[in-house]
Amino acid sequence: MIRLDNISKQNGHQILFIDASMVLQKGEKVGLVGPNGAGKTTIFRMIAGQEQPDDGRVLVDAGMTIGYFSQDVGEMSGQSAVAAVMDGAGPLSALALEMAALEAAMADPEQADEMEALITRYGEVQGRFEELGGYALEDRAREVLAGLSFTEERMDGDVGLLSGGWKMRVALARILLMQPDGMLLDEPSNHLDLESIIWLEDFLKRYDGALLMTSHDREFMNRIVGKVVEIDGGSLTSYAGNYDFYEQQRALTEKQRQAQFERQQAMLAKEIEFIERFKARASHAAQVQSRVKKLDKIERVEPPRRRQSLRFEFRSPPRSGDDVVSFKNVHKAYGSHTIYTDFDFHLGRKERWCILGANGAGKSTLLKLVAGAADPDLGTTPDKGTVTVGASVRMGYFAQHSMDLLDGNDTVFESLDASFPQAGQGTLRTLAGCFGFSGDDVEKPCRVLSGGEKARLVMAKMLYDPPNFLVLDEPTNHLDMATKEMLVAALAEFEGTMLFVSHDRHFLAQLSNRVLELTPDGAHQYGGGYTEYVARTGHEAPGLHPAG
């Protein structure tokens, strides 16, 4: 069991917690929610013993092992991915190292005198290693890495050569292999593709320890947690149920608190009016005094804190022709790896295609081919065949590298102003506010922005003067739940055409009306959106077996 008892914590001038408490029991799966900067990571660090509360206590049961996955994975190099994962397997990892040292000692002629003691110790260590399932460790490590979409080649390659996103997966695999009594997972689904997210979901459902996690993926959170702890205004409030239930309960509580506040305000107004009216009359002095005393004793109901609600409304884009993009006999390969052969695909006006496919199936390549047809500097071109963009099509392309094109010296406001010099200051500040840059945030230089902030700024620039064709490659990466909700609501109203890749099932279900599935057998097209695709195929992503 993990308990936070009346903790208080301050970071610089910011008060994070005041007398806050929560409990995490064995077998509980809990989602930790709250706005950015509310102190979610601080909670994890305190439970992991990396930080102390200023006041109160953090209690972890004696002997309880804790595995903490954070977004800061540290340096990894000089060993294979599978070895790096096995290194994190807690006591087993230490036993494996000791066995290797004992084997070296037994083979060393200079230690022949100690052979009996070495053999005895080796037998003890080997027995314990076997008891803990050590000989199956490598197989289990490979199984976990395969679940997180690693190929055999990538598992055996130097972990130091992997990108940041793949190193994150290695760090996550270490925690999963360790199977600790308690897991603290800070945004575990951030850098995963859809197949890996669904595998992780299944793994965590079967995990029988205590789990505390944050996630910006609504569907992922809904399917795993049975309790939500919210950080709000320095306190911790627990809600039984999944994320959707928490949202409903929170809205209901807010409504009740608002009604209670309004009732009390009406009552106070009447009392104050009576006091003001009769305070000068000697005949009413006793009544006035009595009411003044009564008012002093009343405990004031605080109005509910209003969550900043982001809303962005599209201006109508100009109409495109009916044929937006056509692929004819397209062939594309990278070295010996062929992505498409004689690929045909047509995208019509107002269609919203989501592209599904396992890693390496060519999802991002397809978007780059579309972008390259509009502007070769933005994307790529086919080796054979043609990609044609139709008449009057104005494209907006969001790719992960779009964020690298921001000028680091510009502030958020300057960046918007440079893109839209004709727009007034008020308009640009409203635009910035819709995408989560309120008050002084617009003065931040782009170089200090987080990944999520950069994504929001690029999105604001793309959507302000809307194109009639949006091409989006993982647009929700790095975005928090509130910004995602705003984006989904805004894109649902978008009158143009969309082609997108996303690993967020809520985003896929809300916005698609066509599905293009890329598989080793070729491309398959489905009328109807992602929800219909799941119903028809029996799986949520290509390459997954139908649920049974």
The tens digit of pLDDT for each residue in 398-440 reads 987 888 888 999 999 999 999 999 888 889 998 998 888 888 8
Q: Which two tokens stand for residue 317?
A: 């884009």
Of 52-66, 72-86, 148-162, 362-376, where does mean pLDDT reach its minimum? 72-86
Residue 11: the pLDDT is: 85
CB 507 within 8 A of CB 474: no
Residue 311: the pLDDT is: 73
Of 162-166, 298-302, 519-523, where does mean pLDDT reach its minimum? 298-302
List, in sequence order, every beta strand (DSSP E) within 187-261. Answer: 210-214, 227-232, 235-240
CB 513 within 8 A of CB 529: yes
Element containing residue 32 per DSSP (H, E): strand 29-33
Across the strands, what pairs with 154? none
CB 345 within 8 A of CB 524: no
Task: Tell which residue, 412, 472, 416, has the closest CA to residue 442.
Answer: 412
Asked if pLDDT for residue 520 goes beyond 80, the answer is yes
Query: Could you tell me the CA-to-CA distances from 515 to 70, 149, 205, 356, 381 in Å, in that order?
Result: 34, 22, 28, 7, 23
Q: What percent of the chain has pLDDT over 90?
A: 53
Q: Could you give the residue ranges of the DSSP H alpha helices within 31-185?
A: 40-47, 81-87, 91-106, 115-131, 137-147, 152-156, 164-178
HEC secondary structure over 435-470: CCCCHHHHHCEHHHCCHHHHHHHHHHHHHHCCCCEE
Q: Which two tokens stand for residue 206?
A: 């079967």
Q: Give CA–CA dist 353/324, Å, rounded.
A: 12
Q: Average pLDDT for residues 41-46, to the nearest whole number?
A: 94
CB 303 within 8 A of CB 260: no
Q: Give CA–CA dist 315/310, Å, rounded.
A: 17
Element containing residue 181 per DSSP (H, E): none
Q: Which two tokens stand for residue 106?
A: 């037994």
Asked if pLDDT for residue 521 goes beyond 60, the answer is yes
The tens digit of pLDDT for each residue in 369-380 reads 999 988 888 889
Of 203-207, 260-264, 341-345, where does mean pLDDT reach its minimum? 260-264
Residue 141: the pLDDT is: 92
For residue 544, the one-letter residue type is L
Q: pLDDT grade, residue 304 (50/70/90)?
A: low
Of residues 544 and 209, more confidently modeled: 209
Place of tokens 């306190």: 235
Residue 302: the pLDDT is: 75
CB 449 within 8 A of CB 413: no
123: which residues sit within 8 A by CB, 6+ positions away?
Answer: none
Q: Which two tokens stand for residue 49?
A: 């013993």
Task: Tell which residue, 166, 471, 212, has the closest CA to residue 155.
Answer: 166
Q: What is the DSSP letter of 148?
A: T
Q: pLDDT grade, residue 306 (50/70/90)?
A: low
Across the strands, what pairs with 331? 384
Q: Which two tokens stand for residue 304?
A: 């509910």
Give the number of other Cβ atoms within 10 Å of residue 330's Cβ: 22
Asked if pLDDT for residue 233 goes beyond 90, the answer is no
- According to DSSP, the β-strands at 235-240 and 352-357 are unpaired
CB 484 within 8 A of CB 456: no
Q: pLDDT grade, residue 315 (50/70/90)?
A: confident
**With the CA atoms of 490, 493, 495 and 497 taken in that order, what torsion angle do they form, in degrees rounded to the nearest 10?**
60
Task: Tell which residue, 432, 434, 425, 431, has the closest CA to residue 446.
Answer: 432
Average pLDDT, the chain: 89
Residue 367: the pLDDT is: 95
Asked if pLDDT for residue 88 goes beyond 80, the answer is no
Residue 547: the pLDDT is: 38
Q: Average pLDDT for residues 145-169, to the nearest whole number?
A: 90
For residue 49, the one-letter residue type is G
Q: Average pLDDT for residues 111-135, to the nearest whole number?
A: 87
Q: Phi/psi of residue 301, each to 5°?
A: -80, 125
Place of tokens 């909700």: 485
Of 18-22, 27-31, 60-64, 398-402, where does mean pLDDT reach its minimum? 398-402
Q: pLDDT grade, residue 366 (50/70/90)?
A: very high
Q: Give CA–CA dist 14/12, Å, rounded.
A: 6
Q: Average pLDDT for residues 472-480, to the nearest whole number?
A: 87
Residue 546: the pLDDT is: 41
Asked if pLDDT for residue 73 goes beyond 80, the answer is no
Asked if pLDDT for residue 517 goes beyond 90, the answer is yes
Q: pLDDT grade, residue 310 (50/70/90)?
A: low
Q: Give CA–CA dist 84/141, Å, rounded.
A: 10
Element containing residue 364 per DSSP (H, E): helix 363-374
- According to DSSP, the β-strands at 29-33 and 210-214 are parallel
Q: Which two tokens stand for residue 64?
A: 């309880």
Of residues 348 and 401, more confidently modeled: 348
The tens digit of pLDDT for each residue in 236-254 reads 999 999 999 999 988 888 8
Asked if pLDDT for residue 548 goes beyond 60, the answer is no
Asked if pLDDT for residue 305 goes beyond 70, the answer is no
Q: What percent of the chain has pLDDT over 70?
A: 97
